[in-house]
Structure 1
Amino acid sequence: MKILLLSGLYPSDAQPRHGIFIEHRVAHIAQPGDEVRVVAPVPWFPSRNPVFGRYAEFARAPRTAMRRGIAIDHPRIPVIPGLARLTPGLMAAALYRPITALRRTFDFDVIDAYYLYPDGVAASRLAAQFDVPVVLTALGSDVTLIAQRRAERAMIVAACAGAAAVTAVCGALRDELVGIGVDAAKTLVVEHGVDLDLFRPPADRAALRTRLGIARPTVLIAGHLIDLKGQDLAIRAIARLPGVRLMIAGHGPNDAAYRALAVAEGVAERVDFLGHVDQARLVDLYGAVDVVANCSEREGISNVLLEALACGTPLVATPVWGSPEVVKVPEAGVLTSDRSVDAIARGMAAVLADPPDRGATRRYAERYDWNETGRLHRVILAQAVAAHRRAG
């Protein structure tokens, strides 16, 4: 089977962590005899000057690359600020020529597209043009945010109607898709996995804590510093827990505001802003801290949840979208009653006072295996190809 993966969420040398969970998923889909190519479009931008932030990162993305033995193309697409509704059509039009050229040497059987809007909508249109089936995957904000807008919702529902199958990374996303009109019979849950070899409990946790300078009870929250991730709630919660330290891994536009909040709450000396943390260091942090918090307003299934559990560290998570599907047993930690400072502080206090056995937490995480994710997803792709061939 020849699989063409299409998604703007895919890592590159310029954005090495961008959509890395899709790269993990793809690495476990292909079986002997399968071939995979990736088309990961990048918004066109004229300057690589770092002053332009993430737009400059788009410009620095290579035109072609090879990662994990898979060839990747990064064609440029036009994106018009303020006219997001045009993006799927612009993406499909911009990708038609490079995909036509690619097909001369890679006659793909199926398009495997991730993120429903604009990527999935564009992929559905391209699949019709190339007469191949398409499988769409919903990841999170494409459903929880974008699909709540009328025009975008209509395009998403139409794209799903034309797809051979639609997968979602959690049941909550699937239920929402069905609720807005996507056919329940073709909408399936295929959960994300986690790299269980990379994310694992430390061999000597006490020595690791000493090396990292962690002596007191410590909570970690990891993610982009933006409103929806809720680091401000974690800071306010820590202010109600004397003696507890908070480590914040990540960077983003709210950095200065959150530092000021820590000062205002009187906890600046107990809140560490770590900035960007690479994967190797993140593994150490997960394994060393006592609790990992997720205070998000919306999630599909957060990578942070699965990575922390794989390292044996319990969670405190707000009850949004896919999080209740992960934090559903005592060994996973505590699901808060709501997304409030009081509830988050109570959850942190509860886990710190009576933590689950870290070995049991790790064993629970082992159900999130990328191998099984890849196997299930490949079955769906193969069924799509077989049905398309039968239909003539």
Structure 2
Amino acid sequence: MLRVLTLSTLFPDVSRPNFGVFVERQTLGLAAHPDVDLRLVTPLGLPPWPTAMLAHYRPLAAVPERETWKGLDTRRPRFVTIPGTRGRFHTAALVRMLRPLLAEIRRDFAFDVIDAEFFFPDGPAAVALGAHFGVPVSIKARGADIHHWGTAPATAAQVVAAGRKAQGTLAVSLAMKADMAAIGMPAERIRVHRTGVDLTRFAPRDRAAGKAALGIAGPLVVSLGALIPRKGHDIVLRAVASLPGVSLLIAGEGPERAALEAEILRSGASDRIRLLGSLPHADLPALLATADVMALASSSEGLANAWVESLACGTPIVITDAGGAGEVVDTPAAGRIVPRDAGAFAAAIADLLADPPTRDETRNAAARFTWEANTAALYEHLSGLVDHFRDFHGTPRHSAA
């Protein structure tokens, strides 16, 4: 039995049900493996002063410190984050908080490996804890953890050092692997581990009925993701505004909402462009299956789950050449990869609306992205790390504290 301690600051909780749902799904899949026993630790970063002073932190402070989350014994310990320090001290605070907690867990659960599911601050902390407890460490890179934290002056050295010291590293795409190698991580120890999609939930549906329920007539474009500059919703908005009769629904929430609302008013297309706000992940299959095209103008990505989920619904995508885009859009039926400007997006959307691929052809592009394959590959990776570690270091020190 492989005993896994999964560590992830990117994970849903009652206050943020959509936060890191792909990490949640991967973790649930691994926990269900017949040869895996798993415990989950999902730290929450809070400032050192009373959370009442900052409304943003109040819901996090109310999250239970221990609970059963979808069948998993889940710890949600707090570590201190100091706003304005740009993450410089996150790792030290996380290690200081986790060392006694993991020692407590280890008394009843002698974990064989630490599975860190985000590169910062999870990765550097996991490396320190792995050395302390005498177990191997795997760290997975997903996107912003490399593109932002891995290049930011305050944290880049910590990220790169963790990538060099970890016994195993994972990347969500070949492009992400190349980005990790470019900042100094050893490419030969980086394994590509792609996301999965639930092909039962994300599947084609009656498009006309879906549009009728939304009060939409004519072609529909959908864009998904947080309302932040990196996602480029303003670019898609301007593209659709230039296409007469085409509607756009943007699902997501974030600090760019006011700017996007103003852009909608300026566009003169407020009758066919709407912001839906944040939607439960369970509502996304119906929305994606209703759309004729999903468009996302990201400046950077790892391998976006929204891309694969859209394809599984039979809906082609128009995206930028960000991250693993070329590993997903590798046939015309999957969609188009275009420059990050409104004109290019408008032309690609118009092309797909005029000559759409069949839904079966588009769905086939997602067939290789299954959670079953994701679980099998992760189990093989982690169990291999443990076997290799034992060969060179002996049995992990279960009694370390």
Q: Does 1:339 pair with 2:333?
A: no
1:119 is matched with 122
1:285 is matched with 287
1:221 is matched with 223
1:71 is matched with 73
Secondary structure of the corresponding residue to residue 365 of structure 2: helix
Cα distance in 1 for partners of 2:160, 2:304 equals 24
Cα distance in 2 for partners of 1:252, 1:149 equals 22
Secondary structure of the corresponding residue to residue 269 of structure 1: coil
User: Structure 1, residues 296-350: CA drift from partner, whole Å, max 9, x if none?
Assistant: 11111111111111111110101111222211211111111x1111111111111
Instruction: Tell whether the 8 Å contact from 1:77 to 1:90 is kept in structure 2 after alignment.
Output: yes
User: Structure 1, residues 256-293: CA drift from partner, whole Å, max 9, x if none?
Assistant: 21111111121111111111222333211111111101
Give how far 1:48 is off: 6.5
2:15 is matched with 14
Cα distance in 1 for partners of 2:380, 2:192 equals 13
Instruction: Tell whether the 8 Å contact from 1:245 to 1:271 is kept in structure 2 after alignment.
Output: yes
| One-letter identity of the residue aligned with 1:153 | A
Divergent runs of 4+, >4 A? 45-51
| One-letter identity of the residue aligned with 1:95 | L
Cα distance in 1 for partners of 2:255, 2:38 equals 36
Q: Does 1:300 pair with 2:308?
A: no
Cα distance in 2 for partners of 1:168, 1:344 equals 28
1:374 is matched with 375
Match of 2:176 among 173, 177, 198: 173
| One-letter identity of the residue aligned with 1:347 | A
Give how far 1:47 is off: 5.8
Secondary structure of the corresponding residue to residue 13 of structure 2: coil
Secondary structure of the corresponding residue to residue 16 of structure 1: coil
Percent identical among aligned pairs is 38
Give how far 1:58 is off: 1.6
Cα distance in 1 for partners of 2:52, 2:152 equals 34
User: Structure 1, residues 105-126: CA drift from partner, whole Å, max 9, x if none?
Assistant: 1110000001111110111111
Cα distance in 2 for partners of 1:183, 1:347 equals 37
Match of 2:160 among 140, 150, 157: 157
Give how far 1:49 is off: 5.9
| One-letter identity of the residue aligned with 1:342 | G
Secondary structure of the corresponding residue to residue 147 of structure 1: coil
2:188 is matched with 185
Unaligned runs of 5+ in 2: 395-401
Cα distance in 1 for partners of 2:54, 2:137 equals 38
Match of 1:268 among 262, 267, 270: 270
Cα distance in 2 for partners of 1:166, 1:201 equals 35
| One-letter identity of the residue aligned with 1:186 | R
1:44 is matched with 46
Secondary structure of the corresponding residue to residue 268 of structure 1: coil
| One-letter identity of the residue aligned with 1:328 | D
| One-letter identity of the residue aligned with 2:265 | V
1:320 is matched with 322
Give how far 1:186 is off: 0.9
Match of 2:149 among 130, 146, 151: 146
Cα distance in 2 for partners of 1:50, 1:316 equals 42
Give how far 1:209 is off: 2.3
Instruction: Tell whether the 8 Å contact from 2:207 to 2:291 is kept in structure 1 after alignment.
Output: no
Secondary structure of the corresponding residue to residue 100 of structure 2: helix
Cα distance in 2 for partners of 1:276, 1:150 equals 32
Give how far 1:79 is off: 0.5
Cα distance in 2 for partners of 1:388, 1:63 equals 32
Cα distance in 2 for partners of 1:277, 1:77 equals 29
| One-letter identity of the residue aligned with 1:386 | D
Instruction: Tell whether the 8 Å contact from 1:12 to 1:62 is kept in structure 2 after alignment.
Output: no
Q: Does 1:137 pair with 2:140?
A: yes
1:29 is matched with 30
Q: How many residues align?
A: 389
Cα distance in 2 for partners of 1:33, 1:11 equals 25
